[in-house]
Amino acid sequence: MDKNNPGLGFITQDDCYLFGQGTHYEIYKKLGAHPCEYQGKRGYYFAVWAPHAAAVSVVGDFNRWDPENSCCTRVGQGGIWECFIPGLSAGELYKFVIRTQGGDILYKADPYARCAEFRPGTASRMAEEPWEFSWGDRSWMKKRAEQDPRHSALSIYECHLGSWKKNQGGARDGFKSYRELAEELAAYVKDMGYTHVELMGIAEHPFDGSWGYQVTGYYAPTARYGDAQDFQYFVNYLHRAGIGVILDWVPAHFPRDAFGLADFDGQSCYEYADPRKGEHPDWGTKVFDYGKNEVKNFLIANALYWLNEYHVDGLRVDAVASMLYLDYGRREGEWCSNQYGGNENLEAIEFFKHLNSVIAGRHDGSMIIAEESTAWPMVTHSPEKNGLGFTFKWNMGWMHDFLEYMKLDPYFRKGNHNKMTFGLTYFTSENYILVLSHDEVVHLKCSMINKMPGIYEDKFANLRCAYAYMFGHPGKKLLFMGQDFAQWHEWDESVSLSWELLNEEPHRALQNFVRGLLHIYRTHPCLYQQDDNWDGFEWINANDAERSVFSFVRYDKDRKKSLLFVINFTPMERPDYKVGVPHAGSYRLIFDEKDGAYKLQKKKAESFRAYKGECDNRPYHIFHPLEPYGIRIYEFGPARKTAKTKTAVGGQPQLLATSSAKAHSSL
């Protein structure tokens, strides 16, 4: 810090040093607007990073938006400007005015603002300090810190708050408040059995149609639903209801809006100066400069801000691939290689390793999830082993294969059997989340129910099979709102979900079916304890392509409560169907396609005795007619010690080269 300009005392020499090194993880407590007392007067302290600015001031109603008043002074040599304005209070609007080296005047929203003006307004709003909120989720946070999310139940309800439910004809364009949504959403999610919600578009953004993925207020919960303390109330309420909260987070790019981060101080400040690195030609957005310590600090501190001050349980990082590849979305000649001639963004890689190491070092059970759409290796491996360090990765490959299979007429599925088995050849390579997200039900892709082949009844039957297979497949689960009761139309952010469909029996039945799957998932550790290793999964028959039937087992660590899945993806009945089982004993049918009700009470579940006799290369089998689009989930325990046959163990599947005739002859 310049000794001749020590500043007001709020920004210290240590602050400047750590910010310049990119390691001031609570810089949001120094930059931005903060209520304080200075020289015996109450007011607000303002600080902003604008290294290329010729002058900076603060404007608002309090000074008639006059840029000649409330001028800031530069603190040291790091590009931070500050001022104190007495007499201000929470709720007032403000902006920074930047006078550029070329003499232009720019009106900019505060990059570190904790509240923003309701759109279409673009000003920042002074707020109380978020860390003054009285939290009541201590037991949730303690329990979370004691668990490893990789080996815990994780079933995510992806939700866009603005279109989940609306107040028809209400104020503020019909948006419900964070407080209203907290109670209604918590009740729904708890009843269904999801463990977490993932929220789209919480950081402030100017355009509803961007869904929150073009952010202008990285530190401000969007004013569409309330203020910062309202959002804290939302998270606190869900935690007290036993529900986790994950936020979508966008460190990949930001929009060009004149009041935002683009050319913040008249030059490339937050973005790369070279347009071949600093602009996304397809999206029309700016790319963060991951080589600048202050920019990395802005982003890493922002991630920690949501974890620290709002107690969120995880962040889902959007568009990771666009950050990792220098040529992402660019044609030849539109991008520049790294120092070794490759297309990897080495600065973004280092950023991820830094960010994820800091979050992992918290040891508090918080998660960071990569939406990474390519085959980039070791996304969820530790940086010490040259991985990126994410907790989970969205399994986009599985999703594409799965949906391509499900769209097929059942007659053609036998020729595409491998689309459903291929994901089981690489599921141990990363810690995966199986996703059926908002991206799959927009832009003419159809809703989940309308992706299914056939007429009315067939569509529901196919969707039941799809969800049953998804919940049996290794990997955590994510389902976008509306798809658990078969909403017909594609998602539209401007209207509410079609809740009226629950007045119709098929939609209620499908919702009940998904509820049953969710409760089975949460009550059976075999479905989440060993998602990342072969001890948790075993094929019974991966090769019954002719009949399009899949059968497999999920094991928990001690094999006390395992599940056998049998799913028929055709409308053909199999009245004489039998399936190989790991050992002798009783197999209790806890779930089927008829009503979808998870049979919690043993007396309501039908048991099937295993008979000795080879089937599916197993020494025992059970008989049970398999209905058209039939689904069977059996619960069974460990092999009895008195049994003479050797208990089957988990291992890599052997995709047998059997003919369909041989497969049928085993019946």
Total H helices, total E strands in the chain: 16, 31
CA-angle at 63, arms to 61 and 67, nearest 5°? 110
Q: SS3 for 446-498, per residue? A: CCHHHHCCCCHHHHHHHHHHHHHHHHHCCCEEEEECCCCCCCCCCCCCCCCCC
* Active-site residue, selected from the candidate residues 15, 208, 371, 430: 371
3-state secondary structure of 388: coil
Q: Is 500 a catalytic residue?
A: no
| Residue whose pair of structure tokens reads 């980039």 in the numeric block | 376
| Residue whose pair of structure tokens reads 């658990």 in the numeric block | 484
* Active-site residue, selected from the candidate residues 208, 230, 318, 556: 318
**Nearest alpha carbon to residue 634 among 616, 646, 622:** 622
**Nearest alpha carbon to residue 580 among 560, 545, 557, 608:** 608
Distance CA 110, CA 59 (A): 11
3-state helix, strand, coil in the chain (%, to 5): 30, 25, 45
Q: Is 137 a catalytic residue?
A: no
Distance CA 304, CA 29 (A): 12
| Residue whose pair of structure tokens reads 């939700």 in the numeric block | 159
Q: SS3 for 185-209, per residue? A: HHHHHHHHCCCEEEECCCEECCCHH
Residue 594 phi, psi (nearest 5): -70, -55
In one-letter notation, the amino acid at residue 292 is K
**Nearest alpha carbon to residue 369 among 158, 620, 92:** 158
Q: What is the dihedral of CA 338, 343, 347, 352, to 10 degrees?
A: -160
Is there a cis peptide before residue 120, judged by omega within 30 degrees of 0? yes
**End-to-end CA, the chain:** 82
List the catalytic residues.
318, 371
